[in-house]
Structure 1
Amino acid sequence: MTGQITPAWIAVDWGTSNLRVWAMSATGTVLAQAGSDKGMGGLDRAGFEPALLALVGDWLGGPTPVIACGMVGSRQGWVEARYAATPCPPHGSDFARPETVDPRLDVHVIPGIKQMQPADVMRGEETQIAGFLAQNKGWDGVICLPGTHTKWVHISAGEIVSFQTFMTGELFATLTDHTVLRHSIAAEGWDDAAFDSGLSDAFSRPEKLAGRLFSLRAEGLLHDLPGHVARARLSGLLIGAELASAKPYWLGQQIAVIGAGGLAKLYVKALSQQGVPATQVNAESATLAGLTAAYRQLKG
């Protein structure tokens, strides 16, 4: 850290496992950045301010606005930032204000979004959506945000109209680490053809998913299916089943996929195989643009 940096404000993405911060200029330029493993999941309420100060303390002179998104605003976080209800803009509710000891911190936490029927929630993704819409004025369509809990979000007239969450990433991790498939799935490696076949099988017949999952174990035992091939096929099966269920969202729509690296590319590829072009958007860029939009909203 360096005392030479004097940000106009500080952007914070505070998830369950990690904390990321950026020193920002008034125009939204990144001056410096830092991170730690002090995510919400490892902190009690008294631990949030020290965890933040450990990263940004040297940036602070006088009172400095801090705009934070993510699980920091959950019921178990620093302060509960209550959900805005759909339909609503991505930043559709007042920001929450945690109490701070250090007078240099002026913290504002962005609320998540809730959907009453069918019941669903998001926290953190709303800021990426806000960033994407700030960079793509007047955009209507569907945004896919792949991750542990992948979300499909319908956007119209600058508002989140509806959304649906799929536990695809968590299912993949659970199946590979905590079921009989752990004996058959390699920790790394890939096979494009196996992913494609799994995707096609599950998309065309999603009701057969449970049986096809066990076939990965059986093929390993009986036909020596390589672990990296099983890994790719498992990913294809799960994403294919998700696409089949999410079809009412993406069919005939303009699609943007917000995510980093390989996972987002898999979703773009999967959609392309259904004849649906999708634009991949960098997740960090969208997050920073969304936090910047929130800062400008705060400044009025």
Structure 2
Amino acid sequence: MTAAWIAADWGTSNLRLWAIGSEGEVIGRDSSSSGMGTLAPEGYEPALLALAEKYLGDGPTDVLVCGMAGAKQGWVEAPYASAPCKPSGLAPVSAPTNDPRLRVRILPGVSQQDPADVMRGEETQVAGFLAGNPDFDGILCLPGTHSKWVHVSAGEIVSFRTFMTGELFSLLSSQSVLRHSLHGEGWDDSAFAEAASEAMSRPERLGSSLFSLRAASLLTGLAPGTARARLSGMLIGLELAAARPYWLGQRVALIGGPLLTEPYAKALAAQGLAPETHDGDNLALAGLTAARMALV
């Protein structure tokens, strides 16, 4: 089936693609592990064609891309809009292609000067959220490798902060002494809740609390699933402690898949909040669609 246009979310680890039909319907969804982290600039077009070629016709097909393909190390650098700004505050940048069937444009990211911060891809999910919730005034939390807390008001990104929570979990569980205690299945909700609460109230104890996971594994046979839940709770609790000015007394919406949003929802519920939850993939497509409509 030939696509009228193609939407793509190009992250550090993965490429997600939606083929859009002439009536705006999704006629195909594809993904690959060809993320920005694995590609040189000359590798982007082949990686895109591997997923998109079956949707291309004889003439040029518009491809609108958000995310890390626009990073300095990506396909072509797309500039940052400076917050406060609309989520799609600048025009997209054309990417060089050899195949005449492709016409690729990459959406810009958003930057913040003080404190210094940047986002690429999340702003498109914010745009998708605002397309369905134009009067929203509050906080959007996008958990992930680099979690974002975004203050949105009057249709603009007012400010935001990034936390390396997911990357810290990955590094600690794979490259620190804790790796010996975390391999295994299972999860312990009560251990997660206790660790999150302790980290929020006593964040200065994190270094000691982390090593206690290893010690408990050696001395009491702490189950790997419980250890993983505690580690996740510690790091998310630490994030929530630092992000308290964002969420305290605010309307909060979580954006992402259940695996990412559920722990945050539970930790916030323990603080008396009832956050909304929205699917990140759907909002990425909604944001790309809104950007596409603004271009035609």
- TM-score normalised by length of structure 2: 0.97
Q: Secondary structure at the match of 2:169?
A: helix
Q: CA deviation at 1:186?
A: 2.8
Whole-angstrom CA distance in 1 between matches of 2:284 and 2:184: 29
Superimposed CA distance per residue, residues 172-220 of structure 1 (whole angstroms, 9 cap, x where no aligned partner): 1111111111111234310111001101111111111111111111111
Tell me the residue number matched to 1:38. Answer: 34
Superimposed CA distance per residue, residues 232-291 of structure 1 (whole angstroms, 9 cap, x where no aligned partner): 011111111110110000011110000112221110111111001101111110111011
Q: Secondary structure at the match of 2:284?
A: helix
Q: CA deviation at 1:128?
A: 0.6
Tell me the residue number matched to 1:266. Answer: 263
Alignment of 1:160 onto 2:157 = yes
Residue 284 of structure 2, aligned match among 251, 271, 287: 287
Whole-angstrom CA distance in 1 between matches of 2:22 and 2:105: 16
Whole-angstrom CA distance in 1 between matches of 2:184 and 2:13: 21
Whole-angstrom CA distance in 2 between matches of 1:225 and 1:198: 14
Counterpart contact for 1:149–1:170, Cα < 8 Å = yes
Whole-angstrom CA distance in 2 between matches of 1:187 and 1:24: 41
Tell me the residue number matched to 1:130. Answer: 127
Tell me the residue number matched to 2:69. Answer: 72
Tell me the residue number matched to 2:113. Answer: 116
Q: Secondary structure at the match of 2:65?
A: strand
Q: Secondary structure at the match of 1:152?
A: strand
Whole-angstrom CA distance in 2 between matches of 1:27 and 1:236: 45
Equivalent runs, 1:62-101 vs 2, <5 Å: 62-101=59-98
Tell me the residue number matched to 2:230. Answer: 233
Q: CA deviation at 1:118?
A: 0.3
Whole-angstrom CA distance in 1 between matches of 2:137 and 2:158: 11
Alignment of 1:174 onto 2:200 = no
Whole-angstrom CA distance in 2 between matches of 1:221 and 1:107: 54
Tell me the residue number matched to 2:2. Answer: 6
Letter in 2 for 1:100: T
Deviates more, 1:25-34 or 1:56-65: 25-34
Q: CA deviation at 1:28?
A: 3.4
Q: Secondary structure at the match of 2:86?
A: coil
Whole-angstrom CA distance in 2 between matches of 1:262 and 1:46: 33
- TM-score normalised by length of structure 1: 0.96
Q: CA deviation at 1:26?
A: 4.6
Whole-angstrom CA distance in 2 between matches of 1:169 and 1:90: 24
Whole-angstrom CA distance in 2 between matches of 1:145 and 1:265: 12
Say if 1:27 and 1:270 are closer, same or farther in 2 by CA, change over 3 A.
farther
Counterpart contact for 1:143–1:152, Cα < 8 Å = yes
Tell me the residue number matched to 2:13. Answer: 17
Q: Secondary structure at the match of 1:220?
A: helix
Tell me the residue number matched to 1:208. Answer: 205
Whole-angstrom CA distance in 1 between matches of 2:75 and 2:295: 20
Whole-angstrom CA distance in 2 between matches of 1:113 and 1:248: 21
Letter in 2 for 1:97: S
Say if 1:242 and 1:274 are closer, same or farther in 2 by CA, change over 3 A.
same
Tell me the residue number matched to 1:275. Answer: 272
Counterpart contact for 1:98–1:108, Cα < 8 Å = yes
Unaligned ranges ≥5, structure 1: none
Give the total of aligned pairs: 295
Whole-angstrom CA distance in 2 between matches of 1:229 and 1:51: 39
Tell me the residue number matched to 1:49. Answer: 45
Q: Secondary structure at the match of 1:184?
A: helix
Q: CA deviation at 1:27?
A: 4.8
Structure 1: 4+ residue segments shifted above 6 A: none
Whole-angstrom CA distance in 1 between matches of 2:16 and 2:97: 19
Unaligned ranges ≥5, structure 2: none
